[in-house]
Amino acid sequence: MLSELSIRNVVLIEALDLEFQRGMTALTGETGAGKSIILDALSMATGARSDKALVRKGCEKAQCIASFDLPVDHQVWEILQTAEFEHSPQESLVLRRLINADGRSKAFINDSPVSVKLLARIGAILLEVHGQHDGRGLLDPTQHIFMLDRFGGYSNLVANVRDLHGEKQAAELALAELKAKAEQASIDRDFLSYAVEELDRLDVRSGEEDELAARRRFLQGSEGALSELANAAEVLDQSDYESRLATALSGIERVRDKIGEGDKQASAALIEAGAALEKALLETQEARRAVGDAAGNFETEPGELDRTEERLFAIKAACRKYVSRSETLIDRRREFAESLALIENMEKALGDARKTVEGKHKAYDAAATRLTEAREKAARRLEKSVLKELPDLKMERAQFTVGISEGADSALGRDKVRFQVATNPGSAMGPMDKVASGGELARFSLAIKVALADGEEQVLVFDEVDQGVGGAVASAVGQRLSKLTAHAQVFIVTHSPQVAACANHQYRIEKASKAKTTLTSVIAVAANEREEEIARMLAGEIITDEARAAARQLMKAS
């Protein structure tokens, strides 16, 4: 429900803060007092089209704030969550709108900036203004189909059509994607066949590229290694080096034989020298063998380097050609093979996909037909319900129809639903906002709303729904407005005491001029003062006892 409305610098209103309760609230006052300004401000706060003309003369900007208390499961919270708007369902929903004197506008929800489009979407759900000042709700033909469906009570049929439409679209998309793949695969058939054959011939092993690169580096360095080892072997093969070591060893042995053991120190030195020469001779022989063994490790087959490089370069070329790494060439080969298999099985796959689409179309067509039939029945019932309300609203000669025509397939079915009216016998049926006057429009809206009453949480505003009627008709209008409070908060702008008497709350709008300034004010009429206010509406400036008695009777009857 709308709990508070704050207005700053809107036309004749300088500053105004109002609090509201559930039920029906009457806004009363003399013609021209500014009741429409209240509605303009409320519409402005909820995102309706507004312009700089609303900014009070001499002010830089106008501001309107509307606060709503909503249940935690209200659809508005879900919309805000989808829009990634942070909020707590336990808090009030505060809609704020600023309009600058130059026409620029800003919108806020709970003090966070939002687009005016989002504000208007939220506002359209929370508020409907019926009459001369707003074109949302019943006057929006796109909403008529949802209203009829709620009235009809066949939500299962609506949900089934929505689901089948989604499945039909998914099947059509899958078929389109399959056709695109088949077309592309057919174009690429020769390339795919060649690629599979080439990769099969190449037959790359996992890690082979790294192995080949390492072997290539070895082979490229082996020639230099053999040259160095050959030089070392040549040095070790020089006969005079080993011969001189042997000659020196023989000389040491002869000296030792001559001196014998006569001098132990000299003898020990000769023994050590001989051992060293013998060791040098043996290590020279060992070095010659080790160098020869090392050289054997660098002996490669003729052409091995060329073969290694050829294989390595072939793998690298395949990686470049197929935009891959050697580790994933096997995966690429599998992808190419799968695409080829798709071509081979394409006709069957396309046939299966077409059958699926055909089946989804048939299921959707059947469900949409059942939904259309249900809508036709609900439309006739809604027409009867609305027409039943019109005579008591002094519109017994008016007509109301629910037109259903065929449109394109959608998640809502294939129906276009439009509410149409005629205010006089023989007049052509047409849209309510084009055919009906302001008062007639509000009364049509009231009749439809009474017929559609379904428990949705909403704020309904009726602007001069009692225009041109009085007496029993005005009382009937008031009683029907009061009936709507079972599922909605209702505001009524009225000059009728019979209608005002049916309200639970009442505000009087007044306009006063002072110091070359005209201001509109709003006064809450206390419960114990309402009888006097109703009497004033009946009698005018001079309130008689008869008027008070009549007011008392009206309030008692309501």
Q: What is the DSSP string of 288-318?
A: HHHHHHHHHHT---TTHHHHHHHHHHHHHHH
271 and 400 inside one domain: no
> Is residue 558 a contact partner of residue 530, using CB atoms and an 8 Å limit?
no
In 434-515, the DSSP E strands lie at: 458-463, 488-493, 505-514
Is 118 exposed, middle or buried, given 0-12, 13-18 or 19+ CB atoms closer than 10 A? middle
Provide the residue range defining the domain that includes 352.
Answer: 156-368
Which two tokens mark 228? Answer: 């160095």
Closest by CA position to 538, among listed 504, 501, 505, 511: 501
Closest by CA position to 484, among listed 506, 499, 495: 499
Q: 374: left (phi > 0), else alpha (psi -120 to 50), else beta?
A: alpha
339 occurs within a structural domain: yes
Number of domains making up the chain: 2
404 and 446 inside one domain: yes
**45: Cα within 13 Å, side-chain hemisphere:** 28
407 and 478 inside one domain: yes
CA 174 to chain CA centroid, nearest Å: 22
- Here the CATH number for the domain that contains residue 84 is 3.40.50.300
Q: What angle do CA 91, 94, 97 make, to 5 degrees?
A: 165
Q: What angle do CA 544, 545, 546 make, to 5 degrees?
A: 90
The pLDDT value given to residue 75: 81
126 and 170 inside one domain: no
Mean pLDDT of residues grouped by 10 in the chain (558 residues)?
93 91 89 80 89 89 94 83 77 92 91 90 86 61 88 93 96 92 78 86 80 75 61 64 73 73 71 77 74 62 74 83 77 84 80 94 96 96 92 85 93 94 84 72 81 73 73 81 86 88 91 80 88 85 82 79
With residues binned 3-state (H G I as helix, E B as strand, rest as coil), the percentages for the chain, rounded to 5, are 60, 20, 20
pTM of the model: 0.62
The pLDDT value given to residue 457: 67
The pLDDT value given to residue 322: 80
236 and 271 inside one domain: yes
56 occurs within a structural domain: yes
> Is residue 501 a contact partner of residue 470, using CB atoms and an 8 Å limit?
no
317 and 360 inside one domain: yes
42 and 75 inside one domain: yes
Q: Strand 24-29 and strand 61-68: pairing?
A: unpaired
Rounded Cα gap, residues 441 and 444, in angstroms: 5
198 and 310 inside one domain: yes
Q: What is the dihedral of CA 211, 214, 216, 220, to 10 degrees?
A: -160
SS3 state at 159: helix
362 and 404 inside one domain: no
11 occurs within a structural domain: yes
For residue 95, what are the β-bridge partners? 66, 109
172 and 301 inside one domain: yes
223 occurs within a structural domain: yes
147 occurs within a structural domain: no
Which two tokens mark 458? Answer: 């909403």
43 and 126 inside one domain: yes
378 occurs within a structural domain: no
Q: What angle do CA 57, 61, 63 make, to 5 degrees?
A: 115
541 occurs within a structural domain: no
Which two tokens mark 312? Answer: 């390595």
The pLDDT value given to residue 82: 82
136 occurs within a structural domain: no
Rounded Cα gap, residues 534 and 101, in angstroms: 39
451 and 395 inside one domain: yes
Whole-Å CA distances, 273 to 50, 246, 279, 478? 118, 13, 10, 137
